[in-house]
Chains A and B, each alone.
Chain A
Amino acid sequence: MRVRRLHLTDFRSWREVQLEAHSGANLLLGPNGSGKSNLLEALHVCALGFSPRSRSERDLVRWGADRFVTRLQASRGETPLELAASCDLAGRKETRVDGTPGRLFSRLVGHLSVVGLYPEDLQYVRGGPELRRSYLDALSCQLDPNLVEPLREYARVVKQRNACLKEGDQRDGQMLEVLDQQMIEKAIPLLEARMDLVERLVEPVARLHGSLSGETESVDLFYRGSYGSEDLPRRGQALRDRLEARGRALRNAESSAQSTLFGPHRDELTILLAGRPARETASQGQTRTLAIALRLASAELLALHPERPPVLLLDDVFAELDGPRRERLAKLLPRGGQSFLCSPHRADLPFEVDRTFLLEAGAIRETR
């Protein structure tokens, strides 16, 4: 799988630009603020349907313009693939997948595997639980796009349920019971997917963190549900029973909180480093290597799908690492696939690139 061409109109700092990519390593070279990360962001939006930096697609419109368009041509083996997304200041969205129009950005996911390593990834280790939940869900959706719709539906049902709890004084409580049942129905496949994914991530994250940091401290991942202290059953009826029991136990607390206190939207992925929560105890450098390990592990899982070796987006990751870690990261990157790297200096790079693009004055120049 490889990106052939990226075309942007009024996306972030770019007025109009096109990039013809090499099937190997592509380097985007340019000073701070020259739009390198913006280009990677556009690739990310086309492939995954969301920006790694902004919640609102409207932020992606170039200041002074009223609509952005980003179009990506790729190939999957011999088959061409075209993904396009646009959004205007009013928030009206359009997408195209191989020419078929639609509106939701979420339909873009699942066609082109992409894994990005960004400086902001530190937050996946250090930030709030919602970030780790979104790490898991975004990866789940790439591995199985059939989860996109259930995720949206689950979020909608939780909103309805919260509104129902706010109304208070349920005349007969029937509506709340219906929403309980519906929420649990929608939660089950999401929980099964998350727990399976965590199980698959444990080994690669620990191994990659070890290789990258050169440290021997143990790394463990562990899915903590909002369902009491015992382990959550892995699937089916036992899982359903636990959710229902949790709903009954929390009934009063939820009525006074006027919101839904259990379910996938309240769960936590705990990362343990040497047996302690990394969120609280990991050092700056350990946080960074853990964050990179999470991303490289995503790439490994995606690469198991033979048609989908992921395209890597490496946003200035080498600059943040010391010499030995830089060398080790270079060795750990999956070989043979396509990558886009950006950096303000060529010197930061511990390996050869196949094509270099110089970014200057709002234009891209290809050099040798």
Chain B
Amino acid sequence: MDWSPRVEALVRELSRLPGVGRRSAQRLAHHLLRCPEDQARLLAKVIEEARDRIRPCARCGNYAEEELCPLCVDPRRDHGILLVVEKPSDIAAFETTGKYRGVYHVLGGLLSPLDGVGPDRLNIATLRERLAPGTIREIVLATPASTEGDSTAMYLQRMVPADTRVTRLARGLPAGGELEYSDSLTVLQAFEGRIPA
């Protein structure tokens, strides 16, 4: 059926979202057009504001509204231990365990020559700065258990100064398993059982 072009545009944009097929996009579009007007406008507004205000933290690459993210400026966190993850959503997996008290570094991807992703495309230069000798006691390489996750960890390991302990997550996580979809007990066990890299 032919919708008016604006409805069609709404459906099209929604169906670009991850996990949203054309059918669910139509359902969401109908909902947005029929729900109370304030609600739809509020959604548009928060999306716009989030996109305007949120940028990568200048230190760790996490979502931030200021120069630095809340985790990086929190004096109660242990700034001597650094956990390296692929993407911001992985941070949530560790935060929900409530047990990790160090800080993070978000790479923004994994090294993969096949996809044209080299070190320059990732947030690696700032990591190098953060690892200046004498600043970090331990770095935990929490990249996923895949061939690309392994290459990335091995690459990073080579730039860690000698006085910093390097560990990797225990292989409690399923191979290729996504951190963000793992339950917090599994994540916690992988962290507690971390092994020297």
Chain A residues packing against B (C-beta within 8 Å):
149, 153, 156-157, 159-161, 163-164, 166-167, 171, 174-175, 177-179, 181-182
11 further A-B contacts with Cβ under 8 Å, apart from A157-B151, A159-B114, A167-B118, are: A156-B147, A160-B112, A160-B114, A160-B147, A160-B151, A163-B113, A163-B114, A175-B119, A178-B154, A182-B150, A182-B151
Count of A-B contacts judged by CB separation below 8 Å = 43
Closest residue of chain B to A176 (Cβ to Cβ) is: B113
Residue B158 interfacial (CB < 8 Å):
yes
Which residues of the other chain, B, contact A179 by a CB distance below 8 angstroms? 113, 151
Chain B residues packing against A (C-beta within 8 Å):
111-114, 118-119, 147-148, 150-151, 154-155, 158, 175
* CB of A204 to closest CB in B, whole Å: 35
Which residues of the other chain, B, contact A167 by a CB distance below 8 angstroms? 113, 118
Which residues of the other chain, B, contact A149 by a CB distance below 8 angstroms? 175
Which residues of the other chain, A, contact B112 by a CB distance below 8 angstroms? 160
Which residues of the other chain, B, contact A161 by a CB distance below 8 angstroms? 113
> Is there an interface contact between B113 and A164, defined as CB atoms closer than 8 Å?
yes
* CB of A366 to closest CB in B, whole Å: 44
> Is there an interface contact between B154 and A160, defined as CB atoms closer than 8 Å?
no
Which residues of the other chain, B, contact A153 by a CB distance below 8 angstroms? 147
* CB of B171 to closest CB in A, whole Å: 12
Could you show 5 A-B contacts with beta carbons less than 8 Å apart?
A161-B113, A171-B118, A178-B154, A178-B155, A182-B147
* CB of A167 to closest CB in B, whole Å: 6
Partner of A175, one of B113, B147, B175: B113
Most buried by B among A156, A159, A161, A175: A175
CA distance A156 to B114 in the complex (A): 10
Closest residue of chain A to B152 (Cβ to Cβ) is: A178
* CB of A153 to closest CB in B, whole Å: 5
Partner of A157, one of B118, B147, B158, B175: B147
Q: Which 7 A-B pairs have the closest CB atoms?
A: A163-B113, A164-B113, A163-B114, A178-B154, A156-B147, A178-B155, A153-B147
Which residues of the other chain, B, contact A160 by a CB distance below 8 angstroms? 112-114, 147-148, 151
Closest residue of chain B to A155 (Cβ to Cβ) is: B147
Most buried by A among B118, B151, B158: B151
* CB of B161 to closest CB in A, whole Å: 16
> Is there an interface contact between A174 and B114, defined as CB atoms closer than 8 Å?
no
> Is there an interface contact between A181 and B154, defined as CB atoms closer than 8 Å?
yes
> Is there an interface contact between B147 and A174, defined as CB atoms closer than 8 Å?
no
* CB of A101 to closest CB in B, whole Å: 15
Which residues of the other chain, B, contact A156 by a CB distance below 8 angstroms? 147
Most buried by B among A156, A164, A174, A178: A178
